[in-house]
Structure formats: structure tokens, C-alpha cells
Copies of this chain bind each other. A is one copy, B any other.
């Protein structure tokens, strides 16, 4: 009864410089025995859906292992398999908390199977009637990130003016939808005409613009926010942050969630006016959703309610198969995804 499978997984060949390239990645295979040594408390999960996140690029960089970042973003080792949030099904379990066939969510791997060691982040998942892919995106870490960043960090009030950059991204689209559901005025930026149309027509944003067509972001934001910005949910950093700071209202809040501009080019930094920061009493706050797991229950019930009421909707961009992972990450940095980028690894 010792079944052996071939586990195909994605790894990096080298640390990534700048934007990721196809040549940075490699599809490897290794045999995996689907059984447990006696006494092992590991769990083998067949991966069903895994997440593609811009932040993963950070850990592919060599600087992650330098003193700069060593304490907070552990660098990946080329050749090793790569962590990713995902949903899967238990095939073998040495851990009494899990049984064969359980649907689980947690940190899996970019590959066909994950061997989850004791202490790894893994939980049984109740799909609550929603498709499993929802639990990788809108009901998973992307959703939690949007929820925490918007509600906890920015403490929004109905009627406030909210700007979201990378507004069709996995997190941005949810922040905008949460803000609309709360009764805020919401404008988003994105990188194409099609995305702008989607933001306005499908997601009900009050306004949206293609940042690639704008030459002076400060004036652009002035046009979309004649009464100023109260909350800026920052997914991009760089010049956009500076332009937003110039347009913030007194007591404005900026949640710094992502800096896609810095991920590929560390020199492309935001340089907001600190005179504005002082006189407008701005708060610029970085956060990681992982610090707020205590809010996961609140997040889930709020978001499920909104989903069932049709007030928000998932925006998924799903590709098939382990081999589609590298291009999915590469496309993310080229702005080609619409909503949450997910890889469907296998049928349930």
C-alpha cells in the first residue's frame, strides 16, 4: 500500500534581480511516498488551489538574506520549493487533528503536494458553501489583508474619500468594494483602459484612471478628489504615494500594503513631502495581515455576509497547473492580472 507519486513543483534557479523572468524559474519533480513513518506528525496535502502574491518576489531576492531584511523576510534558497497560501486535501496524516480527505487551508507549496510539518500553518477549512478558490483569495489572506488594512489601520467612516492604487489587484479590488459597501467615495488607479472600465462598471467605483496615461499624478488626484483624500490604501509606493500625500486631507491615513514599484526596483522609492505629513497630521502605517489572525473570524463573517448580500463580489484570475505558476507571477508584475491570481493545481 506504499503509494508513490511524482511531485512536480516550482523553484527558483537563482535569486531574482529586478522583475522576475521565465529563466529564473524551474519546474522540478521528485518522488513522494504517500505514507507516514510511524510516529511522524506530518501531513501530506494534495494541493488544489495556490495563491500567487507579489510579496513572494521579495523572498526571491538576494537582499532578503542580507542584514537589511534578515529578520523579517527570510530569503528562499534556490532549488527549494516555495511557500504559498493555498487550499488542499489531506491524503495522509500523522497528525490526529487531520484525517484523510479533510479540506484544509494554510501555507502550502507551489507544487502538486505539500508535506506540512508539525507547527506549519494548516487549518481545516469549512467552505461554507463557497467555491474552494474563494478561500485562497477573497476569503483567504488577500481578503484578510484588505479587511485589516482598511478597517483596522485606516478606521474609515462612511462618506470618507478613499483612494486605492493597483485597484484591480487581489487586495485593492476588495478594499474598494469594502469601502463602497461602507458608503465611501472610492477612486482607484489601474494600468489599462479595460481595467478602468471594470473598476467603474463591474465594481461600482466612483472613479478610476489609468495611471499610465497620466503625466502628473498630483493633478490627476486633485481632479478625482476635489475635496481631498481621507484614506489612501497604498499597493504601489513610488510616485503615487507622493502624489497622494500632496492630496491628503488633515488627519488622513495611509495604509502601506504593498510597494510593487520597490519590489522590482529598490531605488524607485516614495518620497512624500514630510511638511505635508506634519501639517496634515498624516499617519503612514505599514502592516502585515499575519499579525491580525485574531480578526480572522470577524473578517470571515463580515465578508461572507457581504458576499451573500451581493454587496461585494470575488474577482478571480485562475490559471491551470503547476507549470503555469512562473508566468502567473511574471504577469503580475506586468500588470496583466485582473483580481486575485490563483493557480488551480488539481480537481478536488
A125 within 8 A of B: no
- Bound state CA distance, A179 and B157, in angstroms? 35
Which residues of B sit under 8 angstroms from A111, Cβ to Cβ? none
- A262-297 interface (Cβ within 8 A of B): 262-263, 266, 269-288, 291
Establish whether residues A262 and B273, one from each chain, have CB atoms under 8 Å apart when the complex forms: yes
A19 within 8 A of B: no
- Bound state CA distance, A288 and B277, in angstroms? 10
Which residues of B sit under 8 angstroms from A68, Cβ to Cβ? 246
CB distance from A231 to the nearest CB of B (A): 15
Give the nearest-CB partner of A267 in chain B. B271
Which residues of B sit under 8 angstroms from A258, Cβ to Cβ? 278
- A223-279 interface (Cβ within 8 A of B): 234, 237, 241, 246, 250, 256-259, 262-263, 266, 269-279
Establish whether residues B283 and A285, one from each chain, have CB atoms under 8 Å apart when the complex forms: yes
- Bound state CA distance, A30 and B234, in angstroms? 53
CB distance from A267 to the nearest CB of B (A): 9
Establish whether residues B291 and A278, one from each chain, have CB atoms under 8 Å apart when the complex forms: no
A173 within 8 A of B: no
Which residues in A have some Cβ–Cβ distance to B below 8 Å? 58, 68-69, 71-73, 234, 237, 241, 246, 250, 256-259, 262-263, 266, 269-288, 291
Q: Given known contacts A68-B246, A259-B274, A278-B287, what 12 new A-B pairs fall within 8 Å (CB)? A: A72-B279, A234-B274, A266-B273, A269-B271, A269-B273, A270-B272, A278-B288, A279-B288, A281-B287, A282-B285, A282-B286, A283-B286
